[in-house]
């Protein structure tokens, strides 16, 4: 690092003092806290993004958002060259940067890290970082802090992409690094053209199965997703999207609205009521990377029937399995690709969904809780589908499968003369372009759900009847050190303290369809308890019993 670079870093970092007594950690959500605590952290993430760009020789993204958190919070996270999350190898460096107590410590950290990683800081090598933010009032100032962080590295340039959903920024980073046009309009056009292709391939006998099929009512969580969905909707033909709770409507972000609220509370969001009973309704979260559907119950209780991420995963898996069966069974396409389809869940997936997927003959895999684990496992398959119950997930296609589909569909007409195998290849290729390959995306996920329902000829009620969730209950136990509990097998088995898992097994065995696991929280000093059983009462009793076991083994108080 030359003297010019040292001077620039020392001068710029002196304007951003880290908050006293606060230690931040980079996790799945990046850094997230009350917005007033974040200027220094966001500035330093700007530095990290520029260094990451120099290291990889690729465009990197910085997204400023706190997703489903309250409006006074904010956060910041990195989009890596493939549009995915920051490499776990760099997370400790992110933590060290954020918590460096002074400009001098910061400079020392950077010097040591660039030397270890072999990052060339010669002022000639170029770095490029795309910046995006959601609609939070604190976003503008934090984006400026990120810009100053990026430009404190000589040779680094910034491109402000404006107000975006989180998945849009991830898509743009991936597109730029693949040499594809990456504006918001390009994103909209790719989604809308892929949707039209799938609409054109809907079997004619199913195209008008339900008078409500052409309309979906969407809760935008008073966030950025509602605005973007309105813009996207103008490019659509058959599908009508009615958006409520957009950021333009004056409501408070994530307050009584949004996918997180709907999924956890199982209540109608603000702006919905008994007059919407029977309609197909959906809800996005604050930055539009989560999606759940719901059915308003006809009585005025405010209750809903939730159609969550597990049901979305099941719908996608059913459709994709059908297309693969057409490819494998029909002789219309020679040398069929030996496609491996895999489904990835966490232990929090309802047991009924897992049983349904296995009954379909699908390979179901489990990972620890966290999108980074789900995404990494899904990427091992030719087609990997992952979703969390909270509505975050996507479908990943291998590059080799996409190349095969492109080669096989180049000469195919999508008209009525195409064989079922040819139509299936066209559909799968369109799905790979519609669904976001970088990260969970509520907008692309919504469009895929809608067109699959049309293809199947299903109402939301028919979809919701695929299986019935087992009753479940979640509790937590306060602990002094959550690391006292060590788990294995995708967090479903307790390894330490000894004897706890055996006690959990004995208790679980008392209940029909009983299933229970405990795991340390990733963010709080608590141990989380999840239980399922054949009735809600039994699930609650099992959860309470295991909570007492955890307290007994660890000598702690439950809450």
Give the 3-state DSSP-derived string for 40-62, with helices as H, strands as E and coil as C: HHHHHHHHHHHHHHHHHCCEEEE
Neighbours of 180 (CB within 10 A): 12
Do β-strands 215-223 and 240-246 pair in parallel, antiparallel, or remain unpaired? Answer: parallel
> From the candidates 12, 67, 314, 472, which is the catalytic residue?
67
Using CA atoms, how far residue 378 sits from 16, 78, 215, 390, 491, in Å, is 39, 20, 31, 18, 18
Instruction: For residue 528, say whether it is annotated as part of any ligand binding site.
Output: yes
82 within 8 A of 438, measured Cβ to Cβ: yes
Active site residue 14: no
Instruction: For residue 353, say whether it is annotated as part of any ligand binding site.
Output: no
Q: Quote the crossing angle between the two packed helices 500-508 and 536-554, to the nearest 10°.
A: 160
What is the spatial distance between Cα 531 and Cα 470, in angstroms, rounded to a whole number? Answer: 10
The pair of three-digit structure tokens given for residue 333, joined into one six-digit string: 């396409």
Instruction: For residue 289, say whether it is annotated as part of any ligand binding site.
Output: yes
Instruction: For residue 388, say whether it is annotated as part of any ligand binding site.
Output: yes
108 within 8 A of 9, measured Cβ to Cβ: no
Instruction: For residue 521, say whether it is annotated as part of any ligand binding site.
Output: yes
Q: Which residue has the tokens 């989180």?
A: 166
Instruction: For residue 285, say whether it is annotated as part of any ligand binding site.
Output: yes
The pair of three-digit structure tokens given for residue 173, joined into one six-digit string: 């980073």
What is the spatial distance between Cα 220 and Cα 231, in angstroms, rounded to a whole number? Answer: 13
Instruction: For residue 67, say whether it is annotated as part of any ligand binding site.
Output: yes
Instruction: For residue 287, say whether it is annotated as part of any ligand binding site.
Output: yes
Instruction: For residue 204, say whether it is annotated as part of any ligand binding site.
Output: no
Q: From 371, 364, 360, select the one nearest 350 (Cα to Cα).
A: 364
Specify burial of residue 228 (Cβ count, 10 A radius: 0-12, 13-18, 19+).
buried
Instruction: For residue 53, say whether it is annotated as part of any ligand binding site.
Output: no
Query: From the annotation, which residues make up the binding site for substrate?
Result: 388-390, 519-523, 528
Catalytic machinery residues: 67
Query: From the annotation, which residues make up the binding site for Mg(2+)?
Result: 67, 285, 287, 289
Query: From the annotation, which residues make up the binding site?
Result: 67, 285, 287, 289, 388-390, 519-523, 528
């Amino acid at each position: 690092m030359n003297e010019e670079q040292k001077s620039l870093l020392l001068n710029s970092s002196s304007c951003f003092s880290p908050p006293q007594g606060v230690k931040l950690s980079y996790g799945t959500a990046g850094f997230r806290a009350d917005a007033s605590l974040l200027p220094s952290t966001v500035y330093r993430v700007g530095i990290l993004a520029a260094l990451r760009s120099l290291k990889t020789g690729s465009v990197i993204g910085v997204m400023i958002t706190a997703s489903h958190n309250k409006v006074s919070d904010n956060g910041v996270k990195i989009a890596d060259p493939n549009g995915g999350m920051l490499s776990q190898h760099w997370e400790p460096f992110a933590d060290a940067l954020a918590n460096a107590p002074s400009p001098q410590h910061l400079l020392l950290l950077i010097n040591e890290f660039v030397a270890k990683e072999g990052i060339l800081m010669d002022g000639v090598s170029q770095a490029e970082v795309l910046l995006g933010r959601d609609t939070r009032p604190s976003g503008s100032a934090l984006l400026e802090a990120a810009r100053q962080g990026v430009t404190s590295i000589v040779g680094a340039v910034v491109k402000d992409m404006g107000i975006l959903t989180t998945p849009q920024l991830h898509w743009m980073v991936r597109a730029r690094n693949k040499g594809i046009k990456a504006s918001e309009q390009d994103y909209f056009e790719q989604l809308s053209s892929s949707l039209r292709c799938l609409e054109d391939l809907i079997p004619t006998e199913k195209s008008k199965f339900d008078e409500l099929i052409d309309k979906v009512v969407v809760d935008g969580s008073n966030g950025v997703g509602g605005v973007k969905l309105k813009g996207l909707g103008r490019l659509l033909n058959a599908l009508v999207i009615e958006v409520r709770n957009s950021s333009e409507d004056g409501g408070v972000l994530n307050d009584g609205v949004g996918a997180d609220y709907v999924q956890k509370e199982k209540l109608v969001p603000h702006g919905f009521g008994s007059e919407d009973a029977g309609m197909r309704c959906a809800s996005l979260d604050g930055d539009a990377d989560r999606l759940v559907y719901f059915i308003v119950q006809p009585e005025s209780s405010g209750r809903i029937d939730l159609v969550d991420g597990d049901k979305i995963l099941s719908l996608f898996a059913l459709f994709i399995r059908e297309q693969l069966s057409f490819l494998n069974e029909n002789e219309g396409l020679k040398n069929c690709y030996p496609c491996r389809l895999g489904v990835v869940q966490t232990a929090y997936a309802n047991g009924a969904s897992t049983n349904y997927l296995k009954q379909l003959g699908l390979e179901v895999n489990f990972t620890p809780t966290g999108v980074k684990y789900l995404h990494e496992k899904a990427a091992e398959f030719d087609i990997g589908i992952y979703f969390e119950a909270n509505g975050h997930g996507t479908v990943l296609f291998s590059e080799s499968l996409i190349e095969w589909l492109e080669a096989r569909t180049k000469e195919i007409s999508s008209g009525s003369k195409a064989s079922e195998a040819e139509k299936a290849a066209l559909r799968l290729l369109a799905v790979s372009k519609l669904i976001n390959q970088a990260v969970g995306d509520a907008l692309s996920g919504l469009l895929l759900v809608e067109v699959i329902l049309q293809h199947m000829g299903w109402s939301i009620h028919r979809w919701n009847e695929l299986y019935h969730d087992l009753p479940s209950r979640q509790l937590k136990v306060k602990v002094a050190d959550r690391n006292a509990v060590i788990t294995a097998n995708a967090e479903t088995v307790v390894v330490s303290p000894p004897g706890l898992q055996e006690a959990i097994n004995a208790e679980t065995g008392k209940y029909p369809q009983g299933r229970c696991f405990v795991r340390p929280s990733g963010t709080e000093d608590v141990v989380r308890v999840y239980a399922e059983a054949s009735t809600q009462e039994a699930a609650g009793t099992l959860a309470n019993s295991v909570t007492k076991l955890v307290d007994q083994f660890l000598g702690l108080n439950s809450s």
